Amino acid sequence: MEPVVFLVIGVVIAGLAFAVGTVFGQRRRAAVVRQPDEEAAALLAQAQSRRDKLLAAAQDEAAQLRQAAERDGRERQGRLERRQRRLNQWEENIEQRAGRLEQRERAITQENAKVEQLHAQAKAAAERQSELLERLSRLSQEEAKELLLERIESQIRQEAARRVRDIERQTQEEAESRARRIITEAIQRYASDQTVEVTQTVVPIPNDEMKGRIIGKEGRNIRALEQATGVDLIIDDTPEAVVLSSYDPIRREIARHALSKLILDGRIHPTRIEELVAKAKVEVDAHMRQEGEKAAYEAGVHGLPKELIRTLGRLKFRTSYGQNVLNHSLEVALLAATMAGELHADVDICRRGGLLHDIGKASTGDSEGSHALVGAEMARRHNIAPKIVHTIAAHHFEEEPQTVEAFLVAAADAISASRPGARRETTEDYIRRLSALEEVASSFPGVERSFALQAGREIRILVTPEEVDEYAAHRLASDIVNKIEESLNYPGQIKVTVIRETRFVEYAR
C-alpha cells in the first residue's frame, strides 16, 4: 500500500509540481511578452516625437529656403530689368550714332564730289596754263623739262665743285699747317744755317786783346772750349764781342757761363777751361731746377717728379718765334685754369696740362714725332695722369681732343701765342706781308679795293657789282684763297671775305 500511496503521493506531487511549473511558466511567458510590447511602445513614442521635431525643422527650413528663393528671384529680376534698360539705352545710342554716321557719309560723299570737281578744274587749268606757257615760251613740255634739268644739273655741278674745292682747301690747309709745324719743330730741335736769333749768344769782352787769349797759342784754347762745351766760338771783327753758336741753348748757356768766368779770372788754358765748364754745367743744372720749381709754384702745380721739374726748367733757354717757351707755358697754365674755373671744368688738369704742354720742346732730339706727342710720352713715362697726358698730346690736334680740359689747353696755347707782342716780327716784315696780301687780292679782275685786317689774319675785298655777280664773287673768293696759299707764307690761317654791294640812291626834292 505504502508504495502505492507513495506512488500516488509522488504522482500528486509531480502533478502539483507540473501545475505550479506550468503556472509559473505562463506567467513568465506573459511577462516576457509584455516587456517587448512596452519597449516597442516607448520606441514608437520616441520615433513619433523625433518625426514631429524633424517635420517641424523641415517645415522651418523649407520656409527659409522659400523666402531665400523668393528674395533671390526678386534680385535677379531687378538685375534683369536694369540690364534690359541699359540694352535699350545702348540700342538707342547705336541708332543715333548710325544716324550721324549716315549723315557724315553723305557729307563726305558730297565733299568727294566737290574735290573731284575741283581736281578736274585744276587739271583743266593746268593744261590751259601749260598750253599758254608753251605758246609764250615756244617750247614744248618735254623741251622745258630738259632745259630745267640742264639748269639744275649745272647748279648741282657748281655746288659739287665748290664743296670739292672746300674739302681740298681744308685738306691742304691742314697739310701745310702740319708741315709748318714740323719745320718749326725741326728748326727748334736741330741746328740749321738759317737760324740766327735762336742759335747764337753774344758774350761781351772787355777789349779786343782778350780775343787772342781766348784763341790761345795755335788755337788750343778755343779748341778746348769748343770741345768741352759742344758749341762753336765765332771770333771775328765784331768789337768787344765773341759769338757762341749752337742750336742747343743749354750748351750755349754753359759756354756763356764758363767763358764769362774765364774772362773774369784771366787764367785761360785748357785745364782751367775744363774745370770751369764742369762747374758751369752744375750751376746751369741747378738754375734749371730752380726755374722749373719757380714756374710750377707760380702755376700752382705741386708734386711733379724732380726729373720733370728739371726738364721743365730747360724751357727757360728755349724760344719759339722769339717767345720764351717757359714763360709761354706758365701763361698757358694760368689762362687754361682761368677758363676752366669759368666753365666749371677741372682746374688742376688745366693747370698741369698747360704748364707741361710744351715739355716736348725740351727734348734733346732723341725722340721722334712732334713736340706734343714727345711731351705726352715723356709725361706718361713719369706716371702723369692720363687726362693730363691727353691734354699735352691734343693741344696741336695730333690727337683728337676728347675732354673739355684738352680743348681749353689748346685754346689757351693759341691765345698765348697769338696775343700782340707775344712773338716778335719786324715792322718791315709786317708791312711787307700785309702789302703782299693786298697785292694778291687786287690782281684779280673786278676787284675795286682790298684791305688786310687783324695783322694779316683777314682780308676783305670790295668788288664792282657790274663786273662780278653773286656766283662770280663766290668763285673769286675761292680763287683768291688758292693764290694766297700758293704764293704766300703765313702763320695760322687767313680769312678771305668778298663783299659785293649794290646801292641805289635817290634824292627827294
Inter-residue contact 233 to 222 (CB < 8 Å): yes
Judge whether 294 lies within some domain. no
In this structure, the answer to whether residues 116 and 28 fall within a common structural domain is yes
Q: What cell numbers appear for 452 in the block?
A: 688786310
Q: How far apart are CA 273 and CA 222, in angstroms?
A: 9
Q: How many domains does the chain have?
A: 5
Inter-residue contact 396 to 361 (CB < 8 Å): no
In this structure, the answer to whether residues 243 and 321 fall within a common structural domain is no
- How is residue 361 annotated by DSSP? G
Judge whether 291 lies within some domain. no
Phi and psi dihedrals of 320, rounded to 5?
A: -135, 115
Residue 238 belongs to a domain with what CATH number? 3.30.1370.10
Q: How far apart are CA 339 and CA 345, in angstroms?
A: 8
Domain boundary among 280, 309, 330: 280
Task: Tell me the longest C-alpha to C-alpha distance in the chain.
Answer: 216
Domain boundary among 220, 248, 280: 280
Inter-residue contact 445 to 479 (CB < 8 Å): no
Judge whether 195 lies within some domain. no
List the chain pLDDT tens, one digit each, 509 residues. Answer: 445 545 656 666 766 767 666 666 666 665 555 566 677 788 888 888 888 888 888 888 888 888 888 888 888 898 899 989 889 998 888 988 888 888 888 889 888 888 888 888 888 887 787 777 666 666 676 777 777 788 788 778 778 777 877 787 787 777 777 656 654 554 454 333 334 445 667 777 877 778 888 888 888 888 888 888 888 888 877 777 888 887 778 888 888 888 888 888 888 888 888 888 899 889 888 888 998 999 889 888 888 898 889 888 888 888 776 678 888 888 889 888 888 888 888 999 999 999 998 888 887 656 667 788 888 898 899 899 999 999 998 888 888 888 999 988 988 888 777 655 555 444 566 677 788 888 888 889 889 888 888 767 788 999 888 888 877 888 888 888 888 888 877 656 788 899 888 777 777 77
pLDDT tens profile 279-310: 988 988 888 899 899 988 988 888 889 888 98
> Which residues share a beta bridge with 450?
461
Q: CA nearest 459: which of 496, 498, 431?
A: 496
Beta-strand pair 447-453/495-500? unpaired
In this structure, the answer to whether residues 209 and 242 fall within a common structural domain is yes
Judge whether 323 lies within some domain. yes
* One-character DSSP codes across 153-195: HHHHHHHHHHHHHHHHHHHHHHHHHHHHHHHHHHHHHS--TT-
Phi and psi dihedrals of 198, rounded to 5?
A: -95, 5
Phi and psi dihedrals of 358, rounded to 5?
A: -105, 20
Inter-residue contact 380 to 332 (CB < 8 Å): no
Judge whether 509 lies within some domain. no
- Which amino acid is residue 362, in one-letter code? A
Residue 431 belongs to a domain with what CATH number? 3.30.300.30
Count Cβ atoms below 10 Å from residue 96 Cβ, excluding itself.
10
Burial readout 307-324 (b: 16 or more C-beta within 10 A, e: otherwise): ebbbbbbbbbbbbbeebb
Burial readout 359-378 (b: 16 or more C-beta within 10 A, e: otherwise): bbbbbeeeeebbbbbbbbbb
Inter-residue contact 384 to 376 (CB < 8 Å): no
> Which residues share a beta bridge with 452?
459
In this structure, the answer to whether residues 359 and 244 fall within a common structural domain is no
Q: How far apart are CA 456 and CA 69, in angstroms?
A: 108
In this structure, the answer to whether residues 127 and 214 fall within a common structural domain is no
Instruction: Give the total residue count for the chain.
Output: 509
In this structure, the answer to whether residues 452 and 357 fall within a common structural domain is no
In this structure, the answer to whether residues 349 and 478 fall within a common structural domain is no
Q: What cell numbers appear for 39 in the block?
A: 519597449
Beta-strand pair 319-320/323-324? antiparallel
Domain boundary among 376, 399, 418: 418
In this structure, the answer to whether residues 332 and 312 fall within a common structural domain is yes
In the three-class reduction of DSSP (H, G, I as helix; E, B as strand; rest coil), residue 136 is classed as helix
Angle at 258 between CA 201 and CA 185, to 5 degrees: 40
Expressed as residue numbers, the domain containing 366 is: 300-418
Instruction: Output the CA torsion sign for 57, 63, 67, 72.
Output: positive
In this structure, the answer to whether residues 262 and 334 fall within a common structural domain is no
In this structure, the answer to whether residues 332 and 399 fall within a common structural domain is yes
Q: CA nearest 464: which of 481, 478, 447?
A: 447
Judge whether 505 lies within some domain. no
Q: Find cell 570737281 and name the residue.
A: 117
In this structure, the answer to whether residues 204 and 129 fall within a common structural domain is no
In this structure, the answer to whether residues 320 and 350 fall within a common structural domain is yes
Long-range contacts for 263-272 (Cβ within 8 Å, ≥24 apart)? 263/203, 263/205, 263/206, 263/210, 263/214, 268/213, 268/214, 268/216, 268/221, 269/216, 269/221, 270/220, 270/221, 270/224
Judge whether 128 lies within some domain. yes
Judge whether 59 lies within some domain. yes
